Amino acid sequence: MIVAERTQSRDLLQNYPAHFALRERICKLCQEKHNGDKEVLYKCLQNCYKNDQFEMCTYTFTAPDIECLAAKDVFSCQQRARHKDIP
């Protein structure tokens, strides 16, 4: 189920570059707030979608995304989103 969700989300990102840019902003915004705490980061990511500022973003973050964001490795997140063969 998670794999299907990730594939669907990646397809969405590839089809709508604006979503990718918005996701990048969410990454940066939440990274500034979590201070290494994954729970805080996860709640921040969830709250971003409830905020009107991010109403256009429909991407759902998955566990691997949370892991690499918590490591402050946005580049890895972006690579995974762009290339489906990267685990």
**Entry pTM:** 0.32
Q: Is residue 87 part of a domain?
A: no
Residues 50-62 have pLDDT tens digits of 554 443 333 445 5
Summarised one tens digit per residue, pLDDT across range 10-29 is: 554 444 455 556 666 766 77
Residue 76 lies in a domain: yes
**Domain carrying residue 42:** 2-82
Q: Count structural domains, the chain.
A: 1
User: For residue 36, is it within any domain?
Assistant: yes
> Residues near 87 by Cβ (< 8 Å), separated by ≥ 6?
64, 80
Using CB atoms within 10 Å of the CB of residue 20, give its burial: 0 to 12 exposed, 13 to 18 middle, 19+ buried.
middle
Alpha helices in 1-87, H assignment, sequence order: 2-15, 17-34, 38-50, 63-70, 74-82
